Amino acid sequence: MTVLRVGSRGSRLALTQSTYAAELLRREGFEVALVPITTSGDRDRKSPFGEIGQRGVFVKELEEALLEGRIDVAIHSAKDMTSSDADGLVVGAYLEREDPRDALCGASELRPGMRIGTASARRRAQLLAFDPTLRIEPLRGNIDTRLNKRIERGLDAIVLASCGLDRLGLGAEIGHRFDPEEMLPEAGQGALAIQVRAGEEHLVAHADHSDTRRRVAAERAVIAAVGGGCLAPVASFHDGVLLTALIAAEDGSWLEKRTGADAHALGLELLAIAAARG
């Protein structure tokens, strides 16, 4: 029996997600060995994401292990991945997407002047665009840590991904799930990506969910077209019919949304908006 070494971050959520993915691989006759790997995003839990690299901070070490042959498969939250695949690696399968929405924990609605915790520039921008009186405070850590810090710091609420809370059986913590029209999700949010070395897609191809691949690929293409040099918060989401993207100032002073069928063109349009805004 072929043994697949499956790389995963070591957090409770990451291991829960990887255990689920591993079960799908076992059904195809593979023996699976989970290999926890610590990423730069896990080691530094205090610095803002912008200081350690907004995207990719939770995947880089997993990708290196895959390229070096220390693991055979890497499991990622698709939203943590960079907008393009690392050389020599491909996403062999996207598992069926779960709830992509952002969740408000600690309150059932937004109220003026609330203190809200989040480390996400995307969430911060959209919250402040909705209500500039909100006080957004930086909040890092795994899900359990952030839920505890909300209470310790006396925050009115925090914003997390619904899918992570659901996967850990913590859905009861959610007071409100933001419709994507209220808060556009991160590209890939709600989906798990199984990454392999190029040419080894056959190992995981049976687990691929084609509709999720179509939607997430479009979302990632928007972000890729905007490019890593753009520091403004960006987001993209495909609801199965319509592709929507946004770009904004981190302080919420301006926010622009666009829709379209061509992901690359949509990303270039966002980039032009950012340039015009300076």
The pair of structure tokens assigned to 128 is 């402040």
Q: Is 46 a catalytic residue?
A: no
- On whether both 8 and 56 belong to a single domain, the answer is yes
Round to whole Å and give the CA distance between 222 and 245.
8
Round to whole Å and give the CA distance between 35 and 57.
18
Catalytic residue (one of 12, 140, 149, 258): 140
- On whether both 125 and 173 belong to a single domain, the answer is yes
The total number of structural domains in the chain stands at: 3
Q: Is 123 a catalytic residue?
A: yes
Q: Is 149 a catalytic residue?
A: no
The residue written with tokens 């079960």 in the block is 23
The residue written with tokens 């556009």 in the block is 184
Pick the range with the lowest mean pLDDT from 49-63, 126-140, 234-248, 253-267: 49-63
182 in a domain, yes or no? no
Give per-residue pLDDT as tens, 138-167. 998 999 999 999 999 999 999 999 999 999
Residue 48 reports pLDDT greater than 70:
no
Position 50 scores a pLDDT of 53
Catalytic residue (one of 97, 101, 124, 146): 146
Position 46 scores a pLDDT of 59
Residue 52 reports pLDDT greater than 50:
no
Residue 182 reports pLDDT greater than 50:
yes
- On whether both 76 and 199 belong to a single domain, the answer is yes
CA torsion through residues 197, 202, 204, 207, sign: positive
Position 88 scores a pLDDT of 97
Q: Which residues contact 42 (CB under 8 A, 6 or more apart)?
A: 9, 10, 11, 58
CB atoms within 10 A of CB 232: 21
- On whether both 140 and 159 belong to a single domain, the answer is yes
When the pLDDT of each residue in the chain is averaged and rounded to a whole number, the result is 93
- On whether both 119 and 245 belong to a single domain, the answer is no
Catalytic residue (one of 9, 72, 80, 97): 80
Residue 125 reports pLDDT greater than 70:
yes
- On whether both 9 and 83 belong to a single domain, the answer is yes
Residue 211 reports pLDDT greater than 80:
yes
Q: Is 230 a catalytic residue?
A: yes
- On whether both 147 and 230 belong to a single domain, the answer is no
Q: Is 60 a catalytic residue?
A: no
Position 64 scores a pLDDT of 95
- On whether both 221 and 144 belong to a single domain, the answer is no
Domain containing 39 equals 1-96+191-208
183 in a domain, yes or no? no
Position 57 scores a pLDDT of 81
Position 11 scores a pLDDT of 92
Position 237 scores a pLDDT of 98
Catalytic residue (one of 131, 230, 258, 262): 230
Backbone dihedral region of 150: left (phi > 0), alpha (psi from -120 to 50 degrees) or beta? alpha
Position 257 scores a pLDDT of 97
Per-residue pLDDT averaged across 16-39, rounded? 92
What is the pTM (predicted TM-score) of this model? Answer: 0.91
CATH of the domain at 215: 3.30.160.40
Give per-residue pLDDT as tens, 65-109. 999 999 999 999 999 998 888 899 999 999 999 999 999 999 999
Using alpha carbons only, give the angle 14, 150, 249 rounded to the nearest 5 degrees: 80
Position 278 scores a pLDDT of 79
Catalytic residue (one of 9, 97, 101, 123): 123
Q: Which of 14, 216, 193 is nearest to 92 (CA)?
A: 193
Residue 53 reports pLDDT greater than 60:
no
Round to whole Å and give the CA distance between 264 and 110.
34
How far from 189 is each of 90, 111, 195, 220, CA to CA, in Å? 18, 25, 16, 11
Catalytic residue (one of 122, 124, 197, 220): 122
- On whether both 156 and 82 belong to a single domain, the answer is no
- On whether both 34 and 76 belong to a single domain, the answer is yes
CA torsion through residues 25, 239, 79, 161, sign: negative
In the chain, the percentage of residues whose pLDDT exceeds 70 is: 94
Residue 261 reports pLDDT greater than 50:
yes
